């Protein structure tokens, strides 16, 4: 099936990025969220990114208008009936995802792939709420979705190989380099390896071994990381990272993924990273200032 229209559920960091990516590649994107304010903010953020491209001479005003014209925002899940490919990017909560996929199954056209951008939820657990779980597949974009080349495609136990093939081909169409895991897993490859590394950085901070700035500097200068681990957690979202490590810890029981209590305190305080303005850094200032967290 030719993918002319994609449906993206959840207009947060990832959903907005995926809708932007679709529109950039000529696919009509229907971006749906429960929160109208978030939808407007998502489009506003995409517009800001595009305006920068115009300023740099990389895009014309007409191209920006055309791209934005391909993104339709809505709070109505039933819009999924008009899509040729569906991708869910709501918060990392398996019960919510199960509920949503059961609804999507009733709305989507027959044969349309139902993909989830989940980081660490089990594909089989998400699709257990469906009459036919064979069209559910993990399709994990990386943040920022427009920039990062990797997309990990992860089948569940019952996923039809045809759904995997469609997701892989769609990722390639969007200019990505997909990697397909051989079997169902939690958090795929890149996120799982990264989760252990990021977690260790938070423990090093918690143990008082280094400051926020020095931990990031050490990893950038000493292991050639393009950004420090704490800056990266801020970009991912403290809540999203916490949810991921919690799931990995619960599933594997491995201390490498044991979430540090500091993350929980930060989430309670509303320090969710870049998206809320404060995390390991304070983003109200430019450049962002490292926080002293107690
Ligand atoms: N942040 C990252 O770096 C990253 C990277 C890859 C994958 N992911 C995964 O992508 C998914 C989304 O993450 P995010 O960082 O974009 O989260 P986010 O918190 O930025 O956005 C989640 C959005 O889901 C919306 N939402 C909640 N309930 C909804 C519902 N019932 N219907 C429609 N929308 C609903 C919220 O309003 C919010 O806008 C998660 O599963 C996450 O694990 C995140």
- Give the tens place of pLDDT for each residue, 223-252: 999 999 999 999 999 999 999 999 999 999
Dihedral sign of CA atoms 275, 278, 280, 286 in order: positive
Q: Note the pLDDT tens digit of each residue in 122-145.
A: 999 999 989 999 999 999 999 999
Residue closest via CA to ligand 1's atom 8 equals 119
Mean pLDDT of 170-198: 96
Mean pLDDT of 76-82: 98
Ligand 1 geometric centre to CA of 176 (Å): 20
Question: What pLDDT is stored for residue 294 in this prediction?
Answer: 86
Judged against a pLDDT cut of 90, whether residue 28 lies above it is answered with: yes
Fold of domain 190-284: 1.10.1040
String of DSSP letters for 79-106: GGGG-SEEEE---S-HHHHHHHHHHHHH
Mean pLDDT of 255-272: 97
Q: What percent of the chain clears pLDDT 70, i.e. is strictly above it? A: 100
Ligand 1: which atom is nearest the Cα of residue 15? Answer: 16
Ligand 1 geometric centre to CA of 113 (Å): 19
Residues at CB less than 6 angstroms from ligand 1: 9-15, 33-35, 38, 89-92, 96, 100, 117-119, 140-143, 236-237, 240, 275
Question: What pLDDT is stored for residue 30 in this prediction?
Answer: 98
Contact 9, 86 (CB under 8 A): yes
Judged against a pLDDT cut of 70, whether residue 31 lies above it is answered with: yes
Q: Which pLDDT band, with edges at 50, 70 and 90, does 175 fall under?
A: very high
Ligand 1 geometric centre to CA of 13 (Å): 7
Residue closest via CA to ligand 1's atom 7 equals 119
String of DSSP letters for 169-223: HHHHHTT-EEEE-SS--SSTTHHHHHHHHHHHHHHHHHTTSS-HHHHHHHHHHHH
Judged against a pLDDT cut of 80, whether residue 81 lies above it is answered with: yes
In the chain, how long is the greatest CA-to-CA distance?
55
Query: pTM (2 decimals)?
Result: 0.92
Q: What percent of the chain clears pLDDT 90, i.e. is strictly above it? A: 99
Domain with CATH 3.40.50.720 in the chain: 5-180
Mean pLDDT of 15-35: 98
Mean pLDDT for the chain overall: 97
Ligand 1 geometric centre to CA of 267 (Å): 15
Question: What pLDDT is stored for residue 129 in this prediction?
Answer: 87
Q: Which pLDDT band, with edges at 50, 70 and 90, does 1 fall under?
A: low
The position carrying tokens 């002319």 is: 4
Domain with CATH 1.10.1040.50 in the chain: 190-284
Q: Of the CATH numbers 3.30.70.1890, 1.10.10.10, 3.40.50.300, 3.40.50.720, which one belongs to the domain with range 5-180?
A: 3.40.50.720
Q: Note the pLDDT tens digit of each residue in 37-73.
A: 999 999 999 999 999 999 999 999 999 999 999 999 9
């Amino acid at each position: 099936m030719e993918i002319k229209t994609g449906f993206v559920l959840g207009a947060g960091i990832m959903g907005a990025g995926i809708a932007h990516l679709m529109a950039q590649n000529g696919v009509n994107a229907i971006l749906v969220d429960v929160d109208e304010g978030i939808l407007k903010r998502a489009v506003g953020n995409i517009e800001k990114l595009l305006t920068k491209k115009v300023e740099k001479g990389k895009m014309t005003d007409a191209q920006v208008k055309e791209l934005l014209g391909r993104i339709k925002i809505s709070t109505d899940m039933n819009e999924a009936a008009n899509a040729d490919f569906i991708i869910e990017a709501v918060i990392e909560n398996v019960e919510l995802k199960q509920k949503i996929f059961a609804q999507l199954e009733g709305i989507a056209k027959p044969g349309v792939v139902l993909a989830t951008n989940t980081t660490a939820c089990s594909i089989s657990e998400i699709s257990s709420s469906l009459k036919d779980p064979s069209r559910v597949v993990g399709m994990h974009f990386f943040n920022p979705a427009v920039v990062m080349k990797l997309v990990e495609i992860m089948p569940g136990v019952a996923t039809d190989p045809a759904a995997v093939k469609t997701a892989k081909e769609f990722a390639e169409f969007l200019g990505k380099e997909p990697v397909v895991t051989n079997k169902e897993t939690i958090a795929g490859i890149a996120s799982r390896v990264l989760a252990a590394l990021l977690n260790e950085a938070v423990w090093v901070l918690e143990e008082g071994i280094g400051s926020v700035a020095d931990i990031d500097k050490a990893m950038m200068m000493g292991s050639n990381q393009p950004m420090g681990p704490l800056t990266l957690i801020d970009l991912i979202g403290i809540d999203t990272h916490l949810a991921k490590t919690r799931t990995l810890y619960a599933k594997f029981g491995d201390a490498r993924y044991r979430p540090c209590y500091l993350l929980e305190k930060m989430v309670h305080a509303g320090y969710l990273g870049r998206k809320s303005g404060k995390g390991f850094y304070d983003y109200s200032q430019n450049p962002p200032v490292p926080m002293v967290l107690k």
